[in-house]
Chains A and B, each alone.
Chain A
């Protein structure tokens, strides 16, 4: 009898019980709230547009976004959007860029500067989570917090896909 094994080189080949066939149930992962592919160029364009602003762009003495801050923002957005939805991107009068999210579940804000970043996520219920540090340390973790606290997975019925394997084929 041929025995199916999903582990080609395993020392202990895995086999089905004696009934020759078996049903496996695969559960789809919970909803995953990363940015969609088409949102990347939109976000990067928003950063580029902000970086082209002139001094005094707000009429009240705002600083322009410099090249270092722009590059930091691009690196940060690529990390974050791998795991979180696209934020609203805005320049600040101080020459920094802000990424902001808002849902009925709460708000989050990451501000990117020339050498430093600051970040908070403030859920509707519970304490705010705060981070700050060197701008190079912006990580997917920040996006993960945004995704899990502000965009929780919906409780839809999971998809079940029965798979039958035949033996002695």
Chain B
């Protein structure tokens, strides 16, 4: 039973698990593609940190290959960037999706230029709004970095 409210308040903290493919070489900043949808979908998996806590976010992050840190932003910042954040508890309690409203192209083919232009503006806004925290010890259990 999931007792987290379905509506996501603008002040809620939303966390995206970051992997090595989405940061710069020194692991100090995320790249815009950290918020790009997975193939064939308009969904970016995120976690509702306000309700689940930082340790839970890290545990979910460690399920990903090459996990290196967590990026945090408020739900209101996601909406201000022009995207939507929606509860998706069918994955697990505390899971949500960021949706950019752009239909995914077929595998190995590009987005249309109109969609790329719109998506790039959203990704850049999300990248700018997000606070990235590299994990000081990705291999350990529990979040030992600064408060999210």
Contacts and interface: CB of A to CB of B under 8 A. Distances in A.
Interface of A: 53, 56-63, 66, 68-69, 90-96, 107, 109, 111-120, 122, 128, 130-132
A54 B142 CA distance: 28
Contacts, number: 90
B116 interface: yes
B80 interface: no
B36 interface: yes
B141 to A, nearest CB: 18
Given A59-B64, A120-B117, A130-B117, A93 B111 contact: no
Interface residues of B, number: 28
A26 B121 CA distance: 44
B109 A59 contact: no
Interface string B43-62: 00100000000000000000
B105 A130 contact: no
B31 interface: yes
A60 B38 contact: yes
A93 B120 CA distance: 14
Query: Chain B binding site: helix, strand, loop or mixed by DSSP?
Result: loop
Contact of A118 (B39, B65, B67, B112): B112
Contacts of B105: 94, 113
Given A53-B21, A92-B33, A109-B120, 8 more contacts: A63-B107, A91-B21, A92-B36, A93-B33, A93-B39, A111-B116, A114-B109, A120-B117
A93 B117 CA distance: 17
A42 to B, nearest CB: 14
A62 B112 CA distance: 19
B74 to A, nearest CB: 22
Contacts of A132: 110, 112-113
Contacts of B64: 59-60
A94 B113 contact: no
B39 A94 contact: yes
Given A57-B21, A59-B21, A90-B31, A112 B110 contact: yes
